Amino acid sequence: MRTLRQLLKTIFKYRLSSGLTILSLMVAFLGIIVLSLYVSYERSFDRFHKNGDDTYLFSYNVDMGAGLPIPMGKLIKDKIPDIEEFILFSYWWYSNKLYKPEQTLKDGVEANIGTVSDNFFTVFSFPLIMGEADKVFAKPNTIVISETLATKIFGTTDVVGKSLMVGKKEPFTITYERYA
């Protein structure tokens, strides 16, 4: 008790110095907490994939985002023998609205849309409701949507084989669904 009283006396006697010390300790602990959360997030990101520990992203920054020229994937795979597979991924830069062919673009549902190479679901282990991962993109103009998006657009989750418009382009055929 005597030591605590002496400590409080010293803190009140040297208020400015004690206040700055306590403030700097609080900032330091806050920094440690934020840094720990950031590292934890980065280490856990997409680790649910079967090959998550062996998956890497190659890109460079440009004005409109990050990426590599399309031929670079094959070139890197040919030149570096440890690379088993590569995926091409690009966000859809056009309209991001999906709608049934009998509807108009105004009736569309906004979604994050990306184009991927046909081996996307064999490298990444996103769960599919039905179908085999290696046959998802076997035909051109096919699309995979989530269960949630299927319900928003069609009102049901039984949508495999139905057509879906993406922007003002030709219709895409839904081949498989994946969980939300």
Least confident of 70-79, 124-133, 135-144, 158-167: 124-133
Same domain, 173 and 95: yes
Q: Are residues 39 and 91 in the same domain?
A: no
What is the pLDDT averaged over residues 9-25?
91
Q: Which of 34-43, 77-86, 162-171 has the lowest mean pLDDT?
A: 162-171
58: in domain: no
pTM above 0.85, yes or no: no
94 and 150 part of one domain: yes
Alpha-carbon distance of 59 to 64, in angstroms, equals: 13
Q: How confident is the model at residue 179 (pLDDT cuts 50, 70, 90)?
A: low
At 150 the pLDDT is: 87
Question: In whole angstroms, what is the distance from residue 14 CA to residue 18 CA?
Answer: 6
Distances (CA, A) of 94 to 145, 168, 179: 18, 9, 25
- The residue segments making up the domain with residue 26 are 2-44
Same structural domain, 157 and 95? yes
| 51, part of any domain | no
The verdict on residue 76 lying in a domain is no
77 inside domain: no
